[in-house]
Structure 1
Amino acid sequence: MKTEIFVHSTYAHLRDFISQIPKDFSTLGDEIYVGRNDVHLVNVNGIVLAIKYFKRLTLANRYIFSTVRKSKASRAFEYSEVLIQKGITTPEPVAYINCYKYGMLYQSYYVSLYTDYLPMMELFQLPVSESEIALKAFSRFIYIVHKNGVFHNDLTIQNVLYSVTGNQYDFSLIDNNRMRFRSYSFKRGMDNLSRLALPVETIGIIAAEYAREAAVSDVRTLNAMIFSKWRYQIRMSLKRWLKKPLHLLPHRYRHSSDIIRKETNIVVR
């Protein structure tokens, strides 16, 4: 198995530890998230690291990330560096690891510094009357991100963290492996915000503040956000429909197809 390891020069002294991550990951530190990807927190000589393991790689992903595209871990590292250069807060990148077997990507890990910023989800669960200041601050943050030519392709409230001191909010982007860097336009900003699954009253506050920052009509901004959100939901529904060809099969054939699909998933993983 071939292993590619890149460590930021600031953390070169951690290279020996980082090189052991593929072998020891399951027993390292504290497991704080289990799902499509796993995340562990590890304290190494007083430095707290967040290690993300991109564990669900399809056969197509393994091939693509070995040939025509960089791995998720590589992109997370590089894009985080770009964000920091642009003055956008994100956990500091430390290293990435790509493991290859038979010429194809087998395992992928991204290492960053741990951040004590809080999940944005907490703010959105508060009554609007209590969260309005935070929502406006969030909208200003996203506008600055967009004006810097950064469009997070997985912009959800799960991928934004926050900290607060008094009434001053700061925000941090995470899960940075899916991003586009392009010139700003109002339409691109609205399309990017369409990924936020929020109630209408919350969208209204965010739209009004974004409009103020962008110097455009708040009515135009709200309408654009709602339209972009509707179009995004239609596109996602169509994508899910196309991924489920079983609806075309007679009912009696679906069970066997499910079995085949499950077996295929087991092999691919």
Structure 2
Amino acid sequence: MSVTVKIHDNSTLTKKALMTSIDSFDSHGEMIGNGYRNVIKIVTISGERYNIKEFKVPNMVNKIVYRFFRKSKAERSFLYATRLLNAGILTPAPEAFVEYKSAFTFGSSYYISKQLKYDFTIRKLIDEPECDDYDTILRQFTQFTYRLHESGIHFLDHSPGNTLIIKNGDNYKFYLVDLNRMAFKTLSYDERLANFARLSPKDYMLDIISDEYAKLIGKPQEDVRERMYFFSQKFSSSFKKKEAFKRKYYFWRKKKR
């Protein structure tokens, strides 16, 4: 297979050091998560800590699609990270991406970013509703999402684990991760409100989010809250059906690592 290696102009990585880490990826590094779909590891290269995400090898149809017709998840992650930073939206620094291809199919791919030391994710607000600064964090997060929307950024995987948060004095900084599914366009009113649907089914969270977003967008709070409830319930129902289907028909699948 041929190998494509693209290193960011601002990166200090060398191709040789990067490929040494990719070649030993299976046996080295600190695992994040369970590796069921994609494998994410923290790897030290030349004294610096990097986050390397190995994307699952696509099925036969997508092997052809990604080879000839569509950018890979690794390349999209790299390009979208650069685009976010140029728009003033924080994300861990993009360092590189690596792709393996044959003449007719697409194989493995990797996205490399700088490892970010963060304090928590949005999931903390779901698990710990009594945590300090709950209301402030959620309102600042809503303001952050509003800035995304105003910038024409539709983050399709806007879910609890995909926003890393760093406390900065009395304020909070928000960093997006898992970037390969995005659209860049003018968002409709419903698209904006539906973008919060993956975050939480908790009414008390949506009450705060809808109150803050209504102020920002200049719409009646009751209308914003009602639409957010609708989209959240719709997503939860769809998610439960998909999970039930997977348990019934894909029970034989095992974790990758």
TM-score normalised to the size of structure 1?
Answer: 0.84
Give the Cα–Cα distance (whole angstroms) in 2 for the partners of residues 164 and 232 of structure 1.
30
Q: How many residues align?
A: 251
Match of 2:173 in 1: 170
Match of 1:125 in 2: 127
Query: Equivalences for 1:93-242 in 2 at 5 Å?
Result: 93-101=94-102, 103-120=104-121, 121-128=123-130, 130=132, 131-236=134-239
Q: 1:48 to 1:241 in 2, by over 3 A?
A: closer
CA contact (8 A) 1:133 1:167 kept: no
Give the Cα–Cα distance (whole angstroms) in 2 for the partners of residues 153 and 40 of structure 1.
23
Match of 1:252 in 2: none
Cα offset, 1:228, TM superposition: 1.9
Instruction: Look up the SS of the partner of 2:14 in the other structure.
Output: helix
Q: 1:13 to 1:139 in 2, by over 3 A?
A: closer
Give the Cα–Cα distance (whole angstroms) in 2 for the partners of residues 199 and 152 of structure 1.
21
Match of 1:2 in 2: 2
Cα offset, 1:242, TM superposition: 8.3
Q: 1:13 to 1:215 in 2, by over 3 A?
A: same
> Which range moves more in the overlay, 205-214 or 236-245?
236-245
Give the Cα–Cα distance (whole angstroms) in 1 for the partners of residues 202 and 232 of structure 2.
12
> Which range moves more in the overlay, 102-111 or 15-24?
15-24
Q: Give the structure with higher Rg (CA).
A: 1
Cα offset, 1:60, TM superposition: 2.5
CA contact (8 A) 2:97 2:112 kept: yes
Match of 2:73 in 1: 72
Match of 1:49 in 2: 50
Instruction: Look up the SS of the partner of 1:108 in the other structure.
Output: strand
Query: Equivalences for 1:23-38 in 2 at 5 Å?
Result: 23-35=23-35, 36-38=37-39
CA contact (8 A) 1:6 1:96 kept: yes
TM-score normalised to the size of structure 2?
Answer: 0.87
Residue segments in structure 2 that go unaligned for 5+ positions in a row: none
Q: 1:8 to 1:58 in 2, by over 3 A?
A: same
**1:203-246 CA deviation, whole Å, 9 max, x = no partner?**
11111011111111111110111122233345556767888997
More helix by share: 1
Instruction: Look up the SS of the partner of 1:4 in the other structure.
Output: strand
Cα offset, 1:39, TM superposition: 1.3
Match of 2:86 in 1: 85
Give the Cα–Cα distance (whole angstroms) in 2 for the partners of residues 109 and 101 of structure 1.
16
Instruction: Look up the SS of the partner of 1:195 in the other structure.
Output: coil
CA contact (8 A) 1:117 1:172 kept: no
Give the Cα–Cα distance (whole angstroms) in 2 for the partners of residues 112 and 90 of structure 1.
9
Match of 1:255 in 2: none
CA contact (8 A) 2:165 2:173 kept: yes
Cα offset, 1:193, TM superposition: 1.3
**1:98 partner letter:** E
Q: 1:233 to 1:64 in 2, by over 3 A?
A: farther
Residue segments in structure 1 that go unaligned for 5+ positions in a row: 247-257
Q: 1:26 to 1:245 in 2, by over 3 A?
A: closer
Match of 1:254 in 2: none
Give the Cα–Cα distance (whole angstroms) in 2 for the partners of residues 44 and 119 of structure 1.
25
